[in-house]
């Protein structure tokens, strides 16, 4: 069973995140006049690449799963009511 703490960043996505983090760090090192908080922007992609888990992906996945579960339950209920109506008509 899938939990919210399972890895949700693929290996390819992890490499892209490393590249983005290193690119941001490189831009900061190449331009020392940039604000000092700029390297902090590189921490998020680097940390999520290292852990292969992204909290934002986990939240979005949980929301999408909840929406789909709601749609599935609604479709099953609709099918059940149609089947009940069909049985009443046949009887």
Q: What tens-digit pLDDT sequence spans the chain (91 residues)?
A: 666 667 888 999 999 999 999 999 999 999 989 998 988 999 999 999 999 999 898 888 888 888 888 888 888 888 878 777 766 666 5
Domain ranges of the chain: 6-53, 54-91
The residue among 54, 63, 67, 64 whose CA lies nearest residue 5 is 54
Cα separation, 21 vs 16, in Å, equals 9
CB contact set of 8 (below 8 Å; sequence gap of 6+): 52, 53, 54, 57, 58, 61
**How far is it, in rounded angstroms, from Cα 4 to Cα 6?**
6
């Amino acid at each position: 069973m899938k939990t919210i703490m399972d890895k949700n960043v693929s290996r390819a996505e992890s490499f892209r995140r490393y590249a983005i983090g290193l690119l941001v760090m490189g831009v900061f090192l190449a331009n020392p006049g940039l604000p000092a908080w700029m390297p902090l922007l590189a921490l998020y992609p680097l940390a999520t690449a290292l852990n292969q888990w992204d909290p934002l992906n986990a939240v979005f996945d949980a929301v999408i799963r909840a929406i789909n579960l709601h749609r599935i339950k609604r479709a099953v209920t609709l099918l059940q009511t149609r089947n009940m109506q069909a049985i009443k008509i046949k009887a």
